[in-house]
Every structure is written in C-alpha cells, then in structure tokens.
C-alpha cells in the first residue's frame, strides 16, 4: 500500500506502547514519516487569540480585530498550515479523499472533548461546493460526535476562499445565516469548528450570527493555522 502523500510504500514501524496510547494516531492511508512531518503549533509561542507564531501576546491582525470591536473567540489551532498540510488538504478536500478524514479525526475529537462547550458547530459549506465535493470536510472529522448544524451559507454560490487574496477575504460580506431563524441560544457556550484559520473573517462572521442569537460565548477550533 502506498502513502497517499509521498507515494512511497507504507512500512510503518510501531512499538507496543503505541497501541496502548490513544493519543497516537496509527496512520492507515499515510506513512508514519509523513504524519510526523505535520508541524504542531506550540501554544507557548503563539498568539493567544489565533495561534499564529508571534512573540507578542496578541498578533497585529488580532489587535486589529479587537479595535474594530469584534469579541475574542480564543481560537485553538493544532497544526501549521505549511507545505505538508497543504498536501493533505489537496488530497482530502480538493481531490475527494473522504477516507482521509481519519488522519486527523481522532486528534480533533480529543481536543474538542477538552473544550468546555455546550454545542459544537461546524462551519458550513455552500450547496454548490457540497454538490461538487459530496461532503463537508469539517463534519468528516466530527463523525461519531454530537454536533449542531446551526448555520447555513446565505449565498447559493460564492468564490472559494482559497482563490481569494488576503484583502478580498477580509472584505468578505456576511455569508452565514441561522438554519432556524429566531432560534434562542441564550447562555449557550459554542465552539465553532473549521479547517483552516487564515484571516479569521469566516469564524468571526459565524460567531456574530451566534452571538446575535444570544450565545453567551463563542470559541473556535481549527485543524490548521
């Protein structure tokens, strides 16, 4: 069997203790070397709000969000969005490798268990994107967990975030609405889940919808930053 990222034969060498450690993923579709090449984010060296590497408490971008009046979402991201992670998303998200959800399913769910939230809410994708991809990449990681699809995309079709420049992403209009208009989320602590934190605009749009419906607190978790 070949690794789906490096195309080399998979010859994983696992020790007995690995099978007793549920925090360690035993890759099925990628080799151990490729899995080990994903760079984890060190929270001690990251922005407290968005997890980008910085020597400051809050990065320049997050300070800008605060000045604009946006509440903190205390985003947690697990891995750096580097060349290796881009290979993964290319195979999983853009080439339809739904089975590759299992590469990070366990680690995402373990982190979500630690989050003190009343509801887990995945970021939705457009109907057009779903028709082409046939799955929501975020929901793929949540398989087996309880979550609430509270949001839907307002626009029937919109440009892909990956094809937008940074400035275009920052100027994106509110793309979300509540699935059930008038829903009362009073006193609910909600954790949004998305794939990649780029500028933070998507998560803040989603958080705004939920806060307007009465949510007490909105935080977020993304696989990559």
Q: What is the pLDDT of residues 179-212, one digit of tens each?
A: 999 999 999 999 999 999 999 999 999 999 999 9
Count the domains in the chain: 2
Rounded Cα gap, residues 180 and 7, in angstroms? 45
Based on the fold, state whether residues 29 and 45 are members of the same structural domain. Answer: no
Taking residue 219's Cβ as centre, other Cβ atoms within 10 Å add up to 18
Residues 200, 97: one domain? yes
Report residue 26's pLDDT band, with 50, 70 and 90 as the boundaries. Answer: low
| DSSP-assigned letter for residue 70 | P
Beta-carbon contacts of residue 200 (< 8 Å; ≥ 6 apart): 50, 61, 62, 65, 73, 75
Checking if the pLDDT of 22 tops 50, the result is no
DSSP state, residue 51: -
Residues 86 and 122 in one domain: yes
pLDDT band at residue 56, thresholds of 50, 70 and 90? very high
pLDDT tens-place string over residues 148-186: 999 999 865 555 655 667 666 666 789 999 999 999 999
CATH code assigned at 62? 3.40.50
End-to-end CA distance of the chain: 30
pLDDT digits (tens, 9 = 90+) for 41-54: 999 999 999 999 99
Whole-number pLDDT of residue 27:
58
32: in domain: yes
**Same domain for 30 and 56?**
no
Close Cβ partners of 171 (under 8 Å, ≥ 6 residues apart): none
Mean pLDDT over 55-70 rounds to: 95
Asked if residue 147 and residue 91 are part of one domain, the reply reads yes
Both 70 and 28 in one domain: the answer is no
DSSP string computed for 124-162:
P--HHHHHHHSS-HHHHHTTTS-----EEESSSS---GG
Location of structure tokens 């975020």: 138
pTM for the full predicted model: 0.88
Could you tell me the residue range of the domain that residue 1 belongs to?
A: 1-36
Same domain, 32 and 12: yes
- Residue 196 is inside which H or E element, if any? strand 189-196
Same-domain check for residues 77 and 184: yes
Claim to verify: residue 150 and residue 97 sit in the same structural domain: yes
User: What would the pLDDT profile of 82-105 be if each residue is shown by its tens digit?
Assistant: 999 999 999 999 999 999 999 999
Report the distance separating Cα 115 and Cα 147, nearest Å: 13
The verdict on residue 5 lying in a domain is yes
Give 144's DSSP letter. Answer: T
Same domain, 133 and 204: yes
């Amino acid at each position: 069997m070949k690794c789906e990222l490096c195309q080399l034969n998979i010859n994983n060498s696992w020790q007995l203790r690995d099978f007793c450690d549920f925090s360690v993923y035993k890759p099925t579709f990628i080799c151990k070397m490729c899995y080990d090449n994903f760079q984890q984010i060190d929270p001690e060296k990251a922005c407290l709000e968005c997890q980008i590497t910085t020597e400051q408490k809050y990065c320049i971008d997050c300070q800008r969000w605060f000045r604009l009046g946006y509440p903190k979402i205390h985003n947690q991201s697990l891995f750096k969005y580097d060349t290796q992670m881009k290979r993964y998303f290319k195979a999983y998200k853009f080439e339809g490798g739904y089975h590759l959800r299992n590469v990070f399913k366990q680690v995402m769910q373990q982190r979500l268990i630690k989050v003190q939230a009343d509801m887990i809410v995945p970021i939705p994708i457009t109907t057009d994107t779903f028709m082409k991809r046939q799955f929501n990449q975020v929901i793929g990681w949540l398989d087996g967990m309880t979550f609430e699809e509270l949001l839907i995309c307002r626009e029937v079709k919109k440009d892909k975030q990956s094809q937008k420049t940074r400035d275009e992403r920052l100027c994106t209009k509110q793309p979300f609405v509540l699935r059930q208009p008038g829903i009362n989320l009073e006193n609910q602590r909600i954790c949004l889940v998305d794939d990649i934190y780029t500028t933070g605009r998507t998560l803040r749009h989603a958080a705004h919808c939920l806060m307007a419906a009465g949510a007490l607190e909105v935080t977020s978790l993304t696989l990559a930053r």
